[in-house]
A = this chain, B = another copy of it.
Amino acid sequence: MDNYWIWFFGDFEIYHSMKQNFSREERGYDWPAYWHTDTWNTNVKFIHSYDLDKEESFHVTSRAIGHVKMNGQKFPLNQNIKCSAGHVEIEIIAASMSVLPSVFITGDSIRSDGTWQVSNYLETIPAGFSSLYTDPAFYPDEICFSSETCEPKAINALSGGVLIDFGRMIDGHLNVSFKDDSAAFDLCFGESVAEATDIKWCYYKEEHYSNGKPIRKRAFRYVFIVTASMDDILSISATHQFVDVPVRSSFHSDNKELNKIWDVSVETYRLCSGLFFIDGIKRDRWIWSGDAYQSYFVNPYVFADKEIEERTILALRGNKEIQQHLNTIVDYSLLWVISIEKHMREYADTDFLKSLWPKITAMMAFCEAQKDENGFIIGRPDDWIFIDWAEMDKTGPICAEQVLLYAAYESMSYLCGVMQAENVYVEKSDALKKKINKYYWDDDKGAYIDSFQSGKRHITRHGNIFAVLFRIAGEQRTEQIIRNVLLNEDVAPITTPYFKFFELDALGQIGRFDLIWSQLFSYWGGMLQKGAVTFWEQYDPSVEGNEHYAMYGDPFGKSLCHAWSASPIYFIGRYLIGMQTLAPDSVSLDPHIEFLNQFECVLPIGKYIISFTMLNHKLTITTTMKRGKLYYKDKCYELCRDASLTLDL
């Protein structure tokens, strides 16, 4: 019988996202995320009733203060309580100013699981729980890290000290001891040699470190021990910490470079996937809705882990009462809504959706309250209409934002269907689509303009890419967009990897796999040629040397291990292998043998996996699913655990 730690649904994520978003460090100071931070409920009550056939004992483990109320009588926490046969009403009061108020209840029938209700004295809802927290001795205010000891790959004396290369990115603790207990050295960390050896500008520095002092958890590949010599060092290693979300896919083809791109993408992705999808391990270490949105696309091809998405969705959203857009960004709120449809289509967990529903509807109400007379969403003071770091005409309501609102309506329409809730979104999305096409489409230019209010009729790729991705344009206009924008070199190119994801996804949607293929090698292959062991926040082939590490006006401002750069996994999986989950037990397949004529690949589907072996135009498919369906071209094939399927392509 399942037994879990339980808490106020959503609060685990609020609690730990705060830890996460407060963990950024730069040059000796801390940098908590610069947005409003919701707090967990410090005072809650867990509720359940049972009808017991016989007397039993139960035990409530908790670090909170409070008590157990059983049929009106009160007992302390953390002791055995005897309960007579018959009907029993249990309330567990738990409050804390520092830990997550949570309880673990063990007993024959009386046990903590998702059947408990929890109240914050405002509303009573099903309790939250996680498959990561099933041990009463391991409290949910701690993070369930696994760890791995990493030995240096190289130790070299430099003129100013000793440089240690771990040969890989580490997010954890450095362990170093010197022969002389009284010796003290500065330790400089770096994702690159240049950073570690730049004792002024490296991000992380431990000053005057001597044996036995604690060293803060950091992300690094290199450590430079300033003024030390090889002889000073007694031992050195690092403890990498990670939340063990298993990698359930693999990919191997006859193209070695492509294999490397896959592997380094997986490495990058794993590092940026802890309790939540974060942006990067050195910087920002924050949970950003736009970045997470892209991580959700990669997840089905690596972990297919439902819970990391749930945690990230909840962490981003915070408390039910919403007061600010996610990360202050209007588009990030809309992407959050859209992502829930994607999540549901992938994992179909209606219990989760039901629990999340009040937060979804509150989000939509929040967005609806900031529409103009045309029904277009606009920013309120202090809202950030981001879309991308690009020259864009942001006068009045802008096109790209409206397309996201349309997509959010479409997602809501789908979700209302799942929830069997009243659906006002079909009408809303139809009306908005018409308005967008009326106000933003420019017949002369054959494309959507950024803003109709300014009169400038400026065109960027962004709104047009979204229009393709979210199918707002209709066939004819989409053709025009492809010609006039997507494949038109006169329109300013996408310069950020954030939006490159959407662009490549749009190119995939219109079947331009050749462009995806070439980008994989020029962009990601380019980083590999520069020695990348994880993919960078951004790569510009035109810069030289240490310039690669600079960003935001900072010589080492660039994160060299950044989640959104792991997207080759998605592009390979979705567009080259061409597999897409349609339902928890069915996939569609459209492998592109013009690029990949020989590969072996394992991909997760739900709790199971599907394996593909491609050789000589024959694709052999096996699965651990008992039964499933595979759609290839216009046919549906039965998948079966006990037999492999071979297709002639």
Secondary structure of the A contact surface, majority rule? loop
| A22 CB to nearest chain B CB (Å) | 5
Question: Complex Cα distance A328/B43, Å?
Answer: 14
Question: Complex Cα distance A323/B15, Å?
Answer: 21
Contact between A97 and B98, CB atoms less than 8 A apart = yes
Question: Complex Cα distance A395/B41, Å?
Answer: 34
Residues of B with C-beta under 8 A to A43? 18, 22, 32-33, 36-37
Which chain A residues (90-122) contact chain B, with CB distance < 8 Å?
A: 93, 95, 97-98, 120-122
Contact between B28 and A76, CB atoms less than 8 A apart = yes
Residues of B with C-beta under 8 A to A37? 41-43, 95, 121
Residues of B with C-beta under 8 A to A19? 97
In the complex, whether A644 has a CB less than 8 A from a CB of chain B is no
Residues of B with C-beta under 8 A to A97? 15, 18-19, 22, 98
Contact digits for A63-80, partner B, Cβ 8 Å, 1 yes 0 no: 001111000001111000
Q: Known: A121-B35, A121-B324, A122-B323. Is A29-B67 also a contact (CB below 8 A)?
A: yes
In the complex, whether A638 has a CB less than 8 A from a CB of chain B is no
Closest-by-CB residue of B relative to A68 is B29
Copies in the complex: 2
**For the side of the interface on A, what is the size category?**
35 or more
Contact digits for A47-83, partner B, Cβ 8 Å, 1 yes 0 no: 0000000000000000001111000001111000000
Contact between B323 and A32, CB atoms less than 8 A apart = no
Question: Complex Cα distance A28/B37, Å?
Answer: 35
| A566 CB to nearest chain B CB (Å) | 29
- A residues sitting closer than 8 Å to B (CB atoms) are 15, 18-19, 22, 26-37, 39-43, 45, 65-68, 74-77, 93, 95, 97-98, 120-122, 321, 323-324, 328
17 further contact pairs, Cβ within 8 A, besides A29-B76, A37-B43 = A15-B97, A18-B43, A19-B97, A22-B65, A22-B97, A26-B74, A29-B67, A29-B68, A30-B95, A32-B43, A32-B65, A35-B121, A36-B122, A37-B95, A39-B40, A39-B41, A121-B328
Selected A-B contacts with CB under 8 Å, 24 pairs: A15-B97, A18-B43, A22-B43, A22-B65, A22-B97, A26-B74, A27-B74, A29-B68, A29-B76, A31-B67, A32-B43, A32-B65, A32-B66, A32-B95, A34-B93, A36-B121, A36-B122, A37-B43, A37-B95, A39-B39, A121-B324, A121-B328, A321-B321, A321-B323
